[in-house]
Amino acid sequence: MFLLNIVLTSGADAQQLNIKNDAFWNTTDGQPIYSQGGGIFTFKDPKSGQEKYYWYGVHYKEAETYRNAPNKTLPQASYESVTCYTSTDLVHWTSEGDALTKAEALPDGRPTWVGRLGVAYLKESGQYAMLVQHGAEVLIAVASQPAGPFKWHRKINMLDRIGTTNTGDQTVFTDADTGKSYLVYSYGRGRSKIYVSEIGLRNGQVDLLDCTKVFEGAGREGNCMFKYQGKYYMAASNLYGWDASLAYYLVSDNIRGPYEPANNMRVLEGSADDYAHVTQTGFFVNVKGSRQETVLYCGDRWADFAGNGLGYNQWTPLSFAGATPYFNSLGSWNLDAKTGEWEVAADNNYAKNGSFEADRKQMPSPVKPVQTYLLGWETTVLKGNVVSLDTATSPVLNYNNTEEERKRVVGEKSLNISDKVPFERRVSQVIRSSPYVKLPNGFYTLTASMKNTAGFSNLEMYAETAGKRLAHRVKRANPQWTTIVLKRIPVKDGKVEIGFRAVGAARASCRVDDVSLVLEK
């Protein structure tokens, strides 16, 4: 699937280009984009002098395998290279080749972890410095041009600075107002501390010039930062391995703090219903347009190792109420990088956690995160066993798709509607306009994949809106995954409830996946 479609707006020179999540992205010439755990920085093209966006990230061998057959979750990350792509609009991307090759990063040929990186320009030396996690230390590679090739410069052992040889997750942040760049990283063990260090030259070598602890509390990863209207925002995710999580943040007037609330990160509003569109915090990009400044949240979806969907990069725009950021979870949206303006695309899927991939464990889950519900969905037991942490009696709310099933539906998880006793259950989601994304009036199509046994006296997919109820009733068993559709759903006043209702005999089962609610053309 290609990254973009072009949508012309009514403005004389405005052009909004489509960013489509939940898909694998390609360059303008149709080649796969492989970029995970990196960042985007603005540098001048040495040949043209034009400012461009330079996107760096790691190409893992497993990213190729999963893209070609996303029905199997892979066990490890095998470094191939750090790639570099350039763009002038954040949508059309051109490959500049490998910025840091495998031979350069692994000169002895022995595999190790290489990832979580960024690039800083050092005005004092005219060099570009790449800082990347490398085994249990930090590798610094340098180049004379932004696209590289980057060459091994030195490795930094962090033991004397923070007490561990390695950083936890890290990114590079460049303050556009000062030109200074910083490494943003967490403590290597447990990741219960977050630090900021300025990147510069010391005794002719690229180094971290200082070390300021800005947070100490619950373990956090995916550490990254952005600046908006003079304030610094530190963001991070939970320690959920490769899986998605809530997005958290702190805010300060100074890059070295103090950050508020002190040692107690806030949840980024709008990210809770689907764990930030099924991602970990990755990095941010400020689009400073002629009409507005828009901050892009660029989330990492480690789908090759978590099996939680399609696409490795999920980008969404943030909105702000004063200094408070809001996460807009969108599957498809349009951006004009010249003006900074954005809008929801006509083909956006308004359902949250529609593929049930945000929940990393079997639900209910007695282990972190302890919860008795599916993110974004409400389960109402009208008859049967109560949903609880009692694994002996509670119905299981989600199902682990087999590799064969994943050739038909997306990801490891799907909704499970079943019980050991006769039951009646409703699983629903209320979709409404947010302060920043309107659910437009009009007719919508509700679509899902379903697989069910016999034993249901009633099984339906429904929508309720403006006092009207429409339903698609499933009248027979579907031993294979089947697409069900409910069209011409009239939505008014920015609100609609969608869901599934089941009345079944003991051990009758229904599984649902890939739910979408899209405005009809």
Q: How confident is the model at residue 255 (pLDDT cuts 50, 70, 90)?
A: very high
Describe the chain by its helix, strand, coil percentages, rounded to 5.
5, 50, 45
Report the alpha-carbon distance of residue 344 to residue 449 in Å, rounded. Answer: 25
How much of the chain, in percent, has pLDDT values that exceed 90?
96
Are 222 and 143 in contact by the 8 Å Cβ rule? The answer is no
- 341 band by pLDDT with thresholds 50, 70 and 90: very high
pLDDT of residue 284: 98
Taking the C-alpha atoms of residue 459 and residue 471, their distance in angstroms, rounded to an integer, is 10
DSSP secondary structure string for all residues of 69-120: -TTS--S---EEEEEEEEESSSSS-EEEEEEE-HHHH-TT-----EEEEEEE
Residue 11: per-residue pLDDT = 42
**pLDDT grade, residue 15 (50/70/90)?**
confident
CA geometry: angle 79, 82, 88, nearest 5 deg = 150
Please give the average per-residue pLDDT across 26-30, as a whole number: 97
Residues 507-520 have a mean pLDDT of 98
What mean pLDDT value characterizes the chain?
96
Give percent above pLDDT 70 in the chain: 97
Unique residue bearing structure tokens 């020179």: 13
| Pairing outcome for strands 151-156 and 167-174 | unpaired
Q: What is the DSSP string of 466-488?
A: TTEEEEEE--S-EEEEEEEEEEE
- pLDDT category of residue 386 using cuts at 50, 70 and 90: very high
Q: How confident is the model at residue 391 (pLDDT cuts 50, 70, 90)?
A: confident
Tell me the per-residue pLDDT of 114-172, one tens digit each, with 9 for 90 and over.
999 999 999 999 999 999 999 999 999 999 999 999 999 999 999 999 999 999 999 99
Q: How far apart are CA 458 and CA 146, in angstroms?
A: 61
Q: In this structure, what token pair is assigned to residue 67? A: 């893209």
pLDDT of residue 468 exceeding 80: yes
